[in-house]
Structure 1
Amino acid sequence: MIKSGGLSTCITSKGTSSNGSSHIGVCHSDKTEYPFYYSIQQDTTSTRSCVSQNNSVSLTNFDSGIEKEKLLLSNDSPLNRQLYATKSSIHPITLSTSSYTSNHIQYPSLASQPISNENHLNLIYENILQSLPEHTDLRYFAVSILNNKGCRLEIPNTGVTLIIPEDAVLLDDDHLIFIALINIENQMPMLNNGQTRLSPVILIGPSEITLLKPAVLSFEHTAVLESSWKLNLMFSDDIFNWKTILTYGQENISTPVYLQFNNQQQAFILFESMGAYALIGESVSKHHHASKYIQMVSFFNRSSTTTETNSNEIISTLRLRFLDATTDALERCLTEEFALQNYLCDQPKQFILHDYEDQICINVDLELSSTSRINIGYKEISLKTFWSTRFDRSCFIFIIPNLQLDNEHSTTTFIDHLAMHIDVYQPTILDSALHTRLCVNTHNFLHNSGYNSSSIRQRQPTKSTKEISKLPSLIRQKLCVVLDPPNSLGNDWRMFANNLLGINYLQYFATKSSPTEHLLTLWEARQESLVNMINVLNQIGRSDAASIILQH
């Protein structure tokens, strides 16, 4: 039996494996802590634990003495210290135009932006900091100067971008606009039974900004759109009172926003009101089930403790984190785990979770050879834990036993090189199961943070401002002149919308003074190809519009 002292008191699990063996010793800590920790002990009775005939395996028992870990709190950042100092002080602060950097995270800065009236913007910035919801993590916050030229704003490594088009605001002086991710439970939409959150909760402000034309907010979501979803876009102007402003597929002429999805798990909202937005979903019915994308991220940790005999005992643990399959969720996870000096084993592994009355099973086997494994943990979790709760705050910890492989000539330790097989599945829907093999070279643990995180932090490569297709205002105006008027052939803005952006619901755009202008703003947010736009215009018989682009 593997002991795991220092984590928590063990609670017996009544789970049973497919071969009938019981799995005991699931430990969990006080769920008021952050995050939740589950220590899953070895299944010593499973017939899956096997040993080749020529080798013997010894399990080293130990008291782990693992202390409860503390996450790096968001208010440790310099910018957050400025925020809380501002909130507690009656004296005005000066906005620094240099970047704040902590643990390779760059915090909001205005240094790269031309500032015509710094004192004026300092005051606005101070007011923004004062108005942010309590415990806002400024690592997931971005601010930009806003004027009648519009702006483009994004939170790095989150997939969240905001585009304010030209002449969308009437401002005599430069102003500031911000976007922030909300991650505090009581500031998010409350979920009813069967509902799940499918996107980050995004706050846009300040509230005093009035938009004269729609802006575009883009973000990632986790819905498998081919499954049976009822999708609701939620809105709040104070982050506490949420309401549904759009049900996808049930839009009408009074719907205040437009929501579109592409085939890369991205969503786009055209909106005109400052506030907080979130995408919520649920299955259409009990007989038509929805599905969503989940990602598993694995980490390794090794530490040592002193036993009762004053000898050092090495403790190795596998940490499994399950998150929404979005870049912002992954970024939070990596930041938290690296702050705890844990080693990233591999790139995130994605699988599909179905809203079906089933449990989620997690099984981990330690590979002894090409023909033998030993089980080091098994856990069954209710669907509700993954579907309706903040499961991203959970960490499942598997204690890896100290194994020694004995043969006639030598004794080999497994501590320097580990291979583990992980299975995550719903028993009645095995087609979507996740099966993966992890290889951990623990020598690397001493020298780096593991798998190259820079290659996975941005799921889709971010284009620089110069690379993003953006039409000059003069060309936009000319395209609006020729495409806005309806014609008998129908190859006006309506066919342009359908062929270029796949838009079938046209009422939202039909209510605007210039439908083409808002289509071009959406096209810019989607970072579509200018060549593709020219081809579409030619295909629908509007070479006159295509020539406007080519002549410039």
Structure 2
Amino acid sequence: MSVEEETTSCYCLLDPYACHILLNSFGTYALIGEPISDCAVRQLKVAVFGCLSCNSLDYNLRVYCMDNTPCAFQEVVSDERLQGGQLLEEPKLLHFRGNTFSLQISVLDIPPFLWRIKPFTACQEVPFSRVWGSSQQPLLCGFSLERYSPATTQLSCKVCVRQLQGHEQILHIRTAVLENERETIPFFAHDDSNFPAQMGPKAFKIPYSIRQRICATFDTPNTKGKDWQMLAQKNSINRNLSYFAAQSSPSAVILDLWEARHQHDGDLDSLACALEEIGRTHSKLSDATETEAEEPDFSSSRQNGL
């Protein structure tokens, strides 16, 4: 992060694979930057929808490349429902690298003598800058296939989405053209497969009793330095501490950030290790008997679930 000024309105923490933003109020914010190497990756969810056109002979395929978030996918689902679109294959994840190479989307293996696609439209190429930095999301590429006869009611083909000198995904399309004959793929069967739950019973949370003990211990100012600032330091939070100082419970906000950074692994051991290390550091600064009398023993928490 290049931003160094202190502020109490928000806190931003940039991890190697995620950016965490803590806010006091809702609003519109922009994270602006550029990859420092071609190893940087933007995760795109790829989904294909289809519907019969008005003239009943053409069948429209719409290929979306969107941010890998449940909200982005649900927006596409809502738009497609208004157009009568049908999800034709489970969405897949494409790792789009910051290597300046463009994205190609093509329709392959169209059954000959049954279907045809307009010449020179079977492959579409999207420049790197439009995929990587454009705010016009999701990215949409449309294809129109024409069947030679109304008697043709089945379509099978492949949709290939690939980055030149990068990752590739192939979606296999097998569908009935007529609505009353095709099998429905649920819209909501795959929302959480690649995105950890942030709310509800599936969300990773620190046990409430442990959270209460930590907040009670570290929110209180301590002459020996064992307070929320040391808790922040042990969790690699070293700047803009004024944001946490302005909160009613700085420790609770630090723990909220810790939960967000560990949604994938739920690694409570790392938090327990940090607490134990703080306890050992504090013991060197205070009398051993005083520590036993006044400070909770967090090392036992590790044996009991933290």
Aligned to 1:277: 28
1:275-299 CA deviation, whole Å, 9 max, x = no partner? 52323223267x8785422222111
For normalisation by structure 1, the TM-score amounts to 0.41
Aligned to 1:251: 4
Please list, as runs of the form range in 1=range in 2, the aligned pairs for 1:42-53 lying within 5 A after superposition.
none
Aligned to 1:330: 73
Once residues 438 and 351 of structure 1 are traced to their aligned partners in structure 2, the CA distance between those partners, rounded to angstroms, is 15
- CA-atom RMSD in angstroms: 4.3
DSSP 3-state at the match of 1:540: helix
1:480-513 CA deviation, whole Å, 9 max, x = no partner? 257x53748xx764564455xx424245269727
Query: Measured at CA, do residues 537 and 496 of structure 1 come closer, stay the same or move farther in structure 2, by a change above 3 Å?
Result: same
1:285-329 CA deviation, whole Å, 9 max, x = no partner? 7x8785422222111112462xxxxxxx53222111222222221
Task: Figure out how many residues of one structure are paired with residues of the other and give that number.
Answer: 274
Q: Where is the strand percentage greater, Structure 1 or Structure 2?
A: 1
Match of 1:503 among 236, 244, 254: 236
Aligned to 1:438: 172
DSSP 3-state at the match of 2:33: strand
Alpha-carbon deviation of 1:391? Answer: 3.6
Aligned to 2:128: 383
Query: Measured at CA, do residues 544 and 296 of structure 1 come closer, stay the same or move farther in structure 2, by a change above 3 Å?
Result: same
Once residues 532 and 498 of structure 1 are traced to their aligned partners in structure 2, the CA distance between those partners, rounded to angstroms, is 17
Once residues 280 and 327 of structure 1 are traced to their aligned partners in structure 2, the CA distance between those partners, rounded to angstroms, is 19
Match of 1:456 among 185, 190, 201: 190
Contact 2:42 2:97 in 1 (8 A): yes
Query: Measured at CA, do residues 384 and 276 of structure 1 come closer, stay the same or move farther in structure 2, by a change above 3 Å?
Result: same
DSSP 3-state at the match of 1:518: helix
Aligned to 1:344: 87
Alpha-carbon deviation of 1:383? Answer: 2.9
Is residue 295 of structure 1 aligned with residue 38 of structure 2?
no
1:329-359 CA deviation, whole Å, 9 max, x = no partner? 1110111112222110122222233455544
Contact 1:343 1:449 in 2 (8 A): no
Match of 1:485 among 201, 204, 222: 222
What letter corresponds to residue 418 of structure 1 in structure 2?
S
DSSP 3-state at the match of 1:279: coil
Aligned to 2:107: 364
Once residues 466 and 348 of structure 1 are traced to their aligned partners in structure 2, the CA distance between those partners, rounded to angstroms, is 22
Aligned to 1:235: none
Q: Where is the helix percentage greater, Structure 1 or Structure 2?
A: 2
Alpha-carbon deviation of 1:401? Answer: 3.2
Alpha-carbon deviation of 1:443? Answer: 6.6
Aligned to 1:317: 60
Once residues 93 and 177 of structure 2 are traced to their aligned partners in structure 1, the CA distance between those partners, rounded to angstroms, is 27
Alpha-carbon deviation of 1:435? Answer: 3.0
Aligned to 1:223: none
Alpha-carbon deviation of 1:535? Answer: 3.0
Once residues 199 and 35 of structure 2 are traced to their aligned partners in structure 1, the CA distance between those partners, rounded to angstroms, is 37
Aligned to 1:544: 297
Aligned to 1:519: 254
Q: Which has the higher contact order (CA 8 A, sep 6+)?
A: 2
Query: Measured at CA, do residues 250 and 462 of structure 1 come closer, stay the same or move farther in structure 2, by a change above 3 Å?
Result: closer
DSSP 3-state at the match of 2:81: helix
What letter corresponds to residue 172 of structure 2 in structure 1?
L
Match of 1:422 among 156, 160, 173: 160
Aligned to 2:292: none
Query: Measured at CA, do residues 417 and 486 of structure 1 come closer, stay the same or move farther in structure 2, by a change above 3 Å?
Result: farther
Once residues 461 and 254 of structure 1 are traced to their aligned partners in structure 2, the CA distance between those partners, rounded to angstroms, is 29
DSSP 3-state at the match of 1:280: coil
Contact 2:103 2:163 in 1 (8 A): yes
DSSP 3-state at the match of 1:337: helix
List gaps (5 residues or longer) in structure 1. 1-247, 306-312, 405-412
What letter corresponds to residue 420 of structure 1 in structure 2?
K
Aligned to 1:401: 146
List gaps (5 residues or longer) in structure 2. 280-295
What letter corresponds to residue 544 of structure 1 in structure 2?
D
Once residues 184 and 275 of structure 2 are traced to their aligned partners in structure 1, the CA distance between those partners, rounded to angstroms, is 50
What letter corresponds to residue 222 of structure 2 in structure 1?
P
Contact 1:469 1:524 in 2 (8 A): yes
Once residues 169 and 267 of structure 2 are traced to their aligned partners in structure 1, the CA distance between those partners, rounded to angstroms, is 41
What letter corresponds to residue 62 of structure 2 in structure 1?
R
Please list, as runs of the form range in 1=range in 2, the aligned pairs for 1:51-200 lying within 5 A after superposition.
none
